Chain A
Amino acid sequence: GEDVEQSLFLSVREGDSSVINCTYTDSSSTYLYWYKQEPGAGLQLLTYIFSNMDMKQDQRLTVLLNKKDKHLSLRIADTQTGDSAIYFCAESRPTGNQFYFGTGTSLTVIP
């Protein structure tokens, strides 16, 4: 939905780090997610973070959560051409089982 915002585009050089940012509006959100969408495909879950955490690391991925500012970021270390995709953040709220998705950030990795 429109309550979750992301920049539309990001370009990085292969081997550099990528940082994709997301802001959300509901401070009571319980889980926050990052999904990856490769061209012509559906979305696949990359990682998620529970709202009582401020950081989660999973191999090349680092998720940072700033609840005070309602800001979520995804850092991809040593970005590869295979990381080129659209990345969506999403939040789930205490009531209901819906997810609220951001606008998506299209990451282009330049060789």
Chain B
Amino acid sequence: DAEITQSPRHKITETGRQVTLACHQTWNHNNMFWYRQDLGHGLRLIHYSYGVQDTNKGEVSDGYSVSRSNTEDLPLTLESAASSQTSVYFCASSLDRAEQFFGPGTRLTVL
């Protein structure tokens, strides 16, 4: 069955370190998205991609980067982790404007 996975599921890191969160989907979807979830803010879009080599900034992109070298993967990199980036991160994928399918999330703690 097609699916979308994220790894790691939990990560603890220190301020200033570079961190990469993985997202992998086997739906063969064009579109992939990264969100962060914080109480009172809901889901906020960090970066998104509409296809290979395409990346776009979302609402809260500062301090984050993504790359799309193939259809299946959209890794999210925190260049220099900050405590304000402690959050739960969700990856999603979709075909055109249809339903977005979400991964199980990664809980990141920056100490």
Contact = CB atoms under 8 A, between A and B. Distances in A.
Contacts of A33: 99
B104 A42 contact: yes
Interface stretch (B14-22, B35-43, B62-70, B71-79): B35-43
A41 B104 contact: yes
A33 B100 CA distance: 10
Interface residues on B, range: 20 to 34
A42 B103 contact: yes
A30 to B, nearest CB: 7
B73 to A, nearest CB: 17
Interface in A1-40: 1-2, 4, 6, 8, 30-31, 33, 35, 40
Contact of A45 (B41, B90, B96, B99): B99
Given A8-B40, A42-B105, A48 B99 contact: yes
Which interface residue of A43, A48, A102 has the most chain B CB atoms within 10 A?
A43
Nearest to A92: B97
Nearest to B91: A42
B94 A41 contact: no
B43 A101 contact: yes
Nearest to B4: A42
Contacts of B92: 43
25 contacts: A1-B42, A1-B45, A2-B41, A6-B42, A33-B99, A35-B102, A42-B90, A43-B43, A43-B102, A44-B102, A45-B99, A48-B99, A88-B43, A97-B30, A97-B50, A97-B96, A97-B97, A98-B33, A98-B48, A98-B58, A99-B33, A99-B100, A101-B35, A101-B42, A104-B43
Interface of B: 30-31, 33, 35, 40-45, 48, 50, 58-59, 90, 92, 94, 96-97, 99-100, 102-105
9 smallest CB-CB distances across A and B, nearest first, come from: A42-B102, A103-B42, A101-B43, A43-B102, A104-B42, A42-B104, A97-B31, A45-B99, A101-B42
